[in-house]
Amino acid sequence: MVNIYIFTAITAVFIAATLLLGWYGYRHTKNNDEFLLGRNKTNSLLLALSYGATFLSASAVVGFGGMAARYGMVMIWLVVLNLFVGLVVAFLLFGKRTRKIGKELKAFTFSDLLGKRFKSPAIRTLSAVIILVGMPIYCAAVLLGGVNFLVATINVNKDIILIGFSLIVAVYVTYGGVLAVMYNDALQAGIMFIGMAIILVVTYSVIGLDANQQLTDLWGTSLGGGSTGLESLADKGMNGWTSMPSFGSEVWLTVVTTFLLGVGIGALAQPQLAVRFMSAKDDKSLNKSLIIGSIFMIVIVGTAYTVGALSNVYFSMRHAGMVAIEHVGNTDMIIPTFVNELFAEFGSLGEVFIIIFILAILCASISTMSALLHTMGAAAGHDLMSQVDEKKKVERTEKRSLKLNRISTMIMMVLVVLIAYLMPTNIIAKATSIFMGLTAATLLPTYAHGLFSKHPNLVAAKWSIIIGSISWALWGFFVNAGIANVIGTPLIASGLITFVDPLVISLPLSCIVLIVLCKLRPVKAEPSESAESCSE
């Protein structure tokens, strides 16, 4: 355990800086547009750090780091997907089009962008509802990632941490809007970078530069030593911590279809990330942000997944051959336990390292939570309530709009806290994959169609979202074991099919529906334009 007095002093300074930046955002948020988007008030560095800090939460470090301890270096493939899909494709293809079209349409949220692009309140409502249904689960997982780490490190009541943590985020997001979120993201990203760099260096210095080879050798030794946990994974297709699992096996389906594809592809359809593109001044700032963001991405997630896998070597060295899942059990607690034990070897200096890493995890949680909370508040207060006001013919003044957004943000924070209390253990990485897979299956085809087609097809977009949503829900709640056993009713008791993620079923279906309807019911264009809306 760390020195509580030193930790309290450092944390107090951090909270003060966070609230100060929130106040700065509040002072520069004069109207609803600035609360939602803050366009032209950002630069490439701020955009890159905000995007990276929003993308990479405590679930990436704690949740997926724990999964790397369980499944090994195969999780490094997620770093590759995050870099290529979540950054290169996102910035160069989706980002530039999102910024351009968002500016032309004067859109202020992801749902607002889709609604105006398809000239459809229904599309705006559908996408907002998907955000409000799925995002609180993801946000609760991010909250738990930070809370669990603190509870494991400091002798403090979990309820106090969870509620206090939530209140701080709620206050600065509610009053400071997107500017408070982005400036805090930048501060928090810097702390995250330092914390992850330290743990990577310390891990290799303690285990040795041949740590990866030790990890390869450890699998055979531990498996042959009668580890029931590893025997179970081997029976399910795992071939070691530095090898790919057997194709089509239970482990392969879980890792590839849920973690790699769910988070890898799902990054493209994240509403909270799309808003970052809409905040950019120009394409040049996006290009610069891509370079900065790539470095940040490699250090944060590359470290988390590498250290997570190598924790098996460390625990085996220190605990009579027991690897991570044997020594700790709960995958969500592997990284917290590893960090505490690793830095405890350095005495007083180790306490300083632990405090820095605690702040890094706090920053990872707060940065993503604030972005998610802002997105949910905007979806409820701006995207849904503005349509209610329109139907009731209520005047939508700047004061009323800003008030509704802030009230909605506070309500969503309360909902997130309640969900956090109801969530089971070993859920952080899974909850993240669920939300990202859901948005990819339901919104990605329509989002891409809206960006790259000259004549977006409303009918095709509506049915793509509807079919994607229904198929995802049916497969998730009644077939997929990871989801159905928690929030559904599994109709199939066993078999490899129960480990196939809903994304694998619903994303192709939503794409097929979009393409077929575009061909069957093409948009009527002007005489000088092509009638084929999906051929662009």
418 and 524 in a single domain? The answer is no
> Considering the domain boundaries, does residue 439 fall inside one?
no
- The one-character DSSP state at 60 is I
Q: What is the CATH number of the domain that holds 37?
A: 1.20.1730.10
425 and 494 in a single domain? The answer is no
Helices 44-55 and 283-318: crossing angle in degrees, nearest 10, is 40
pLDDT digits (tens, 9 = 90+) for 267-289: 899 998 888 888 888 888 888 88
Model confidence band, residue 533 (pLDDT cutoffs 50, 70, 90): very low
Mean predicted lDDT score pLDDT of the chain: 86
Structure tokens that stand for 265 in this block: 């592809």
Rounded CA separation 536/534 (Å): 6
> Considering the domain boundaries, does residue 444 fall inside one?
no
* 3-class SS string, 348-370: HHHHHHHHHHHHHHHHHHHHHHH
Model confidence band, residue 535 (pLDDT cutoffs 50, 70, 90): very low
Domain that holds residue 373: 4-429
The number of beta carbons lying within 10 Å of the beta carbon of residue 68 is 31
> Considering the domain boundaries, does residue 80 fall inside one?
yes
Rounded CA separation 434/146 (Å): 19
Rounded CA separation 13/389 (Å): 42
331 and 463 in a single domain? The answer is no
**185 or 426: which leads in pLDDT:** 185
> Considering the domain boundaries, does residue 72 fall inside one?
yes
Q: Which distant-in-sequence residues (6+ apart) come within 8 Å of 246 by Cβ?
A: 237, 238, 239, 252
**How many domains would you assign to the chain?**
2
How many CA atoms does the CB half-sphere of 209 hold within 13 Å? 0
Task: Give residue 490's region: left, alpha or beta (phi > 0; psi -120 to 50).
Answer: beta
The number of beta carbons lying within 10 Å of the beta carbon of residue 9 is 12
Rounded CA separation 98/91 (Å): 9
502 and 418 in a single domain? The answer is no
163 and 225 in a single domain? The answer is yes
Predicted confidence at residue 227, as pLDDT, reads 65
Tell me what percent of the residues of the chain surpass a pLDDT of 70: 94
Question: Is there a contact between 7 and 149 (Cβ–Cβ < 8 Å)?
Answer: no
Predicted confidence at residue 351, as pLDDT, reads 81
403 and 459 in a single domain? The answer is no
Predicted confidence at residue 453, as pLDDT, reads 92
Lowest average pLDDT, out of 13-27, 31-45, 396-410, goes to 31-45
pLDDT digits (tens, 9 = 90+) for 142-191: 888 888 878 877 777 888 888 888 888 888 888 887 778 888 888 888 88
**125 or 185: which leads in pLDDT:** 125
pLDDT digits (tens, 9 = 90+) for 321-351: 889 988 888 888 899 899 989 988 888 778 8
Of 413, 429, 445, the last residue of a domain is 429
Tell me what percent of the residues of the chain surpass a pLDDT of 90: 36
> Considering the domain boundaries, does residue 447 fall inside one?
no
Rounded CA separation 61/67 (Å): 10
How many CA atoms does the CB half-sphere of 515 hold within 13 Å? 7
Say if residue 310's pLDDT is above 80.
Answer: yes
Query: Could you tell me what percentage of the chain is helix, strand and coil, using 3-state DSSP and rounding each to the nearest 5?
Result: 80, 0, 20
Rounded CA separation 324/339 (Å): 12
Predicted confidence at residue 374, as pLDDT, reads 87
Rounded CA separation 136/139 (Å): 5
Predicted confidence at residue 526, as pLDDT, reads 54
pLDDT digits (tens, 9 = 90+) for 449-484: 999 998 899 999 999 999 999 999 999 999 988 888
> Considering the domain boundaries, does residue 154 fall inside one?
yes
* 3-class SS string, 137-200: HHHHHHHHHHHHHHHHHCCCCHHHHHHHHHHHHHHHHHHHHHHHHHHHHHHHHHHHHHHHHHHH
Count the residues in the chain. 536
373 and 518 in a single domain? The answer is no
> Considering the domain boundaries, does residue 365 fall inside one?
yes
Rounded CA separation 195/503 (Å): 33
**501 or 393: which leads in pLDDT:** 501
Rounded CA separation 64/262 (Å): 13
Model confidence band, residue 226 (pLDDT cutoffs 50, 70, 90): low
478 and 408 in a single domain? The answer is no
29 and 150 in a single domain? The answer is yes
Which one, of 69, 9, 3, lies nearest residue 337 by Cα? Answer: 69
Q: Which amino acid is at 314?
A: Y
**367 or 506: which leads in pLDDT:** 506
pLDDT digits (tens, 9 = 90+) for 33-78: 777 766 566 678 888 888 888 888 777 888 889 999 999 999 999 9
**369 or 149: which leads in pLDDT:** 369
Q: Which distant-in-sequence residues (6+ apart) come within 8 Å of 93 by Cβ?
A: none
> Considering the domain boundaries, does residue 434 fall inside one?
no
90 and 128 in a single domain? The answer is yes
Structure tokens that stand for 229 in this block: 């946990």
Helix ranges (DSSP H) in 393-522: 398-422, 428-452, 458-478, 481-487, 502-520
Q: Which distant-in-sequence residues (6+ apart) come within 8 Å of 530 by Cβ?
A: 454, 455, 536
Predicted confidence at residue 41, as pLDDT, reads 62
Lowest average pLDDT, out of 97-106, 189-198, 344-353, goes to 344-353
Predicted confidence at residue 144, as pLDDT, reads 85
The number of beta carbons lying within 10 Å of the beta carbon of residue 480 is 29
463 and 384 in a single domain? The answer is no
**Mean pLDDT (whole number) for 297-305:** 91
149 and 258 in a single domain? The answer is yes
Q: Which distant-in-sequence residues (6+ apart) come within 8 Å of 402 by Cβ?
A: 31, 32, 35
Of 429, 463, 488, the last residue of a domain is 429
Predicted confidence at residue 228, as pLDDT, reads 65
